[in-house]
Structures are given as C-alpha cells and as structure tokens.
C-alpha cells in the first residue's frame, strides 16, 4: 500500500560530521545530497509531490 509522507523540513540536520536528509528527497538517504534546494520556494500552506523533474501540488 502506498503512503504519502509529509516532510516539513527544508534542509539537512547535522549529526556529528554527517548531514542527514530531513526533506525526504535525497537519493542517498539517510544522508543529504542537496535535494532540499528544490523546496526553497514552496508555499508553506500547500502540500507537494515530487518526481525526478517537477513537483505537483496536492489539492
């Protein structure tokens, strides 16, 4: 069964000398790969689904 998981952080969290993904978009989870940069201009009152090329607002 598919689930929609809502991530609200827009950047990574430093743990020791590593950076851990908090946005949910990293391809190298649990570590940050910079994918959070795609979320910088999100409207905080909306929910989005991301794929490889774009994001789509969930209505």
Looking at residue 56, which CATH number applies to its domain?
A: 3.40.5
Q: CB-based contacts of 27: which residues, under 8 Å, 6+ apart?
A: 33, 35
Average pLDDT, the chain: 93
Give the structural domain span for 21. 1-38+46-59
Beta bridge partners of 47: 58
- Give the residue from 57, 58, 59, 54 showing the smallest Cα distance to 25: 54
What was the pLDDT predicted at 58?
A: 92
pTM strictly above 0.85: no
Q: Please state the rounded mean pLDDT for residues 1-29.
A: 93
Total domains in the fold of the chain: 1
pLDDT, one tens digit per residue, over 19-33 is: 999 999 999 999 999
């Amino acid at each position: 069964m598919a689930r929609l998981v809502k991530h609200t952080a827009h950047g990574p969290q430093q743990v020791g000398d590593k950076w851990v993904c908090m946005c949910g978009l990293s391809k190298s989870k649990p570590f940050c790969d910079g994918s959070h940069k795609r979320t910088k201009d999100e409207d905080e009152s909306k929910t989005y689904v991301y794929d490889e090329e774009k994001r789509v607002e969930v209505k």
